[in-house]
Chains A and B, each alone.
Chain A
Amino acid sequence: MIHEIPLNKLPVGKKARIKVLSKNVLPKRRLMDLGLIPNTIVKTERISPSGNPIAYNIRGAVIALRKEEIENVIVEIID
C-alpha cells in the first residue's frame, strides 16, 4: 500500500517525498522557489498550537507553511 497524503497531514517527525505540487501556477511557483519540487524529501518539524502553520525541514532549512498553501501538495510517506 502506498501512503499518499496531502503534505499538511504528514505527522511530526515523519519524512515524505513530494509527488505532486499544486496545479495553480502561482502557488506552485512559490513552493518551487522555497525548494519544493517533485521528489524533494521533506520532514515535518513541528506544528503550531493551533495546527496552522506547520514547520517543515526543506533542503536544510526549516520553513513554516500555511495549511492552505500545501493541502494540494501530495506526498508519499517514506519514513
Chain B
Amino acid sequence: MGLTSKSTGLSLLKNKYDIVKEDRDMIVIALAGNPNTGKSTLFNTLTGLNQHTGNWPGKTVSNAKGTFKYKDKKFLLVDLPGTYSLLANSVEEEIARDFICFGNPDITIVITDATCLERNLNLVLQVMEITDKVIVCVNLIDEAKRKGISIDIEKLENRLGVPVIPTVARDNKGIDELLEIIYQMINGNIKTNPYRLKYSDEIESIIKEIEPILIETLGTKYNTRWLALRLIDGDKAIFNSIDNILKKYSI
C-alpha cells in the first residue's frame, strides 16, 4: 500500500502530536532553538498566549501549540522543546526532530541567542539539513549589544542562505519583520538556498545506495537524504521513528 491521504501531513500531525488544525489552509510553523534562547517568549508574543516562560532550560518538554493570524493567513505555531541538537540524545531532541522531519511544518523558525550565536549555529545547520523552509531569528540582540557584540545579519544571511531576522522578542522588536518574512515565504516570494554540508565521497556514495530504498518504502514526503545519513550514523531512535510511521500507515 502506498501513501494515502491518511498518511500525509495533517493526520500525521494529529496522531503524533495531537495537533488539530482548525481548517486545511492553516499554516504550520515549528519553533526550534537551543534551551533558554526565548522560544516561549517569541511563542507568546506571536500567539498572544500566556504559556509559562522561565529562565531555565528544559521548561518546554512537550510541544505547546497556539494560533495567530497575519493578513489573510492563519497560522498554527508549535513551540518545540529546546535542544542543542537533533541527533536524539534525549526525549526532547527526539520530539523536536520527529516534528521537523515527519510533521512537515510549512516553516521552521530557529531562534538563536545573539550573546552566544556560534554555539547556536549547530542546531541551525542541522535543521537546514532537514528542511529548506527555515527562518533564523537572532534573539536577545539587546543583551548582545550591552555585551559589546554586534552581529552582521546580512553576512549571516548570505552564508546560511536563509532569512535572518534580529529580534528582541521580550520587547516586541523585530516581530513585524518576522511576520512579513513568514508571509512572503508562504506565498513563495522568498526562495531559500540553505547551506548544506557535503560529506566525504565514501559517505555520499553510501547515501546514493540507501536513499532509493528509503524512497521506495517511505515515498518522497520526507527528507530521505537526511534519514539515510541517520541510518549511516547507526542512530537507533530513527529506526523507531521510521517503524512507527510504517506501522501507523501499514505502508
Contact = CB atoms under 8 A, between A and B. Distances in A.
A35 B119 contact: yes
B89 A58 contact: no
Nearest to A59: B119
Interface string B128-168: 00000000000000000000000000000000000000000
Interface string A35-76: 100000000000000000000001111000000000000000
A33 B116 contact: no
Contacts of B85: 29-30, 33
B118 A33 contact: no
Given A33-B84, A34-B84, A26 B89 contact: yes
A58 B119 contact: yes
Contact of B87 (A33, A59, A61): A33
Interface size class of B (residues with CB under 8 A): 10 to 19
B251 to A, nearest CB: 30
B89 A29 contact: yes
The interface residues of chain B, by DSSP majority, are classed as mixed
Nearest to A35: B119
Contacts of B116: 59-61
Contacts of B119: 34-35, 58-61
B50 interface: no
Nearest to A61: B116
Given A33-B84, A34-B84, A59 B89 contact: no
Nearest to B147: A60
Contacts, number: 29
Contacts of A26: 89
A34 B85 CA distance: 8
Nearest to A27: B89
A33 B234 CA distance: 17
B40 interface: no
A21 B251 CA distance: 41
A30 B89 contact: yes
Contacts of A35: 84, 118-119, 122
Contacts of A58: 119
A60 B121 CA distance: 13
A30 B235 CA distance: 13
B67 interface: no
B159 to A, nearest CB: 18
A35 B122 CA distance: 8
A20 to B, nearest CB: 20
Contacts of B113: 61
B95 to A, nearest CB: 16
B115 interface: yes
Interface of B: 84-85, 87, 89, 113, 115-116, 118-119, 122, 234
8 contacts: A29-B85, A33-B85, A33-B87, A35-B118, A35-B122, A59-B118, A61-B113, A61-B116
Q: Which 6 pairs show the lowest CB-CB distances between chains A and B?
A: A60-B116, A33-B85, A59-B119, A35-B119, A33-B84, A30-B89
